[in-house]
Amino acid sequence: MTVMGASDPWAGAAGSPPTPLEPPSVADQPFLDAMARLAGGVVVLTTRDVVGRDCGVTVTACSAVSLDPPLVLVSVRRSGFVHDALSVSEGWALTMLAADQGDLARYASRHRAPGDRDDFSRWPHRRGSRTGALIFADGVAAVECVPYDSLDAGDHTIVVGRVVAAAAEPASQPPLVYVDRGYTTVPRSSG
């Protein structure tokens, strides 16, 4: 840890604002290894592409942002299969997956080439009442969103959605969690 003062490269001369230096770069692999230690709930984002076909992607960078108005964010890779569809979508859904839905998570996270299509017919689902996007049965919760804002963030776009419908399912399964580059669950607390 650096102590603020003359030896601090971020500190300016007395009476002047700090002069920021270019932040140090971190190598890709150590960054990936560090972030792999951060556990995240597993969510499948679904929407429709410009011709009305269903498409989806697994995300673990998903978070509530605000209660008033109700907002959530997801981080979507710019070069990913769903990014372009999401950028023109009028709405999408997020299904928070249950512990036994790892096969769905793996399917929605697979690599796709331009022109590939998703086929979610093997997983029970319904259409969201507000967006028409797929919501998968047996997930632990789901929300439907309409576009609110977006922010370019390196090789990803942070997409913020205004929640227009939400439901938490009865707790028959714990949530699916992604950590250390694999799917797992967390034990339920008894209290």
- Sorted by where each begins, the domain ranges of the chain are 39-172
- Write down the mean pLDDT value for the chain: 86
User: Band of the pLDDT at 116, cuts 50, 70, 90?
Assistant: confident
- Pick from 84, 76, 71: nearest CA to 148: 71
The pLDDT of residue 110 is above 80: yes
Distance CA 103, CA 183 (A): 10
Mean pLDDT of 104-125: 89
Greater model confidence, 8 or 88: 88
Q: Is the pLDDT of residue 60 over 70?
A: yes
CATH topology of domain 39-172: Pnp Oxidase; Chain A (2.30.110)
More confident residue, 186 or 109: 109
pLDDT score of 26 more than 60: yes
Amino acid at 16: S
79 or 18: whose pLDDT is higher?
79
Mean pLDDT, rounded, for 6-25: 53
How large is the average pLDDT for residues 36-46?
93
For the full predicted model, state whether its pTM sits above 0.75. yes
pLDDT band at 39 (very low <50, low <70, confident <90, very high): confident
Give the per-residue pLDDT at 184.
92
Q: How far apart are CA 42 and CA 184, in angstroms?
A: 10
Among the listed residues 150, 148, 121, 147, the one whose alpha carbon sits nearest the alpha carbon of residue 136: 121
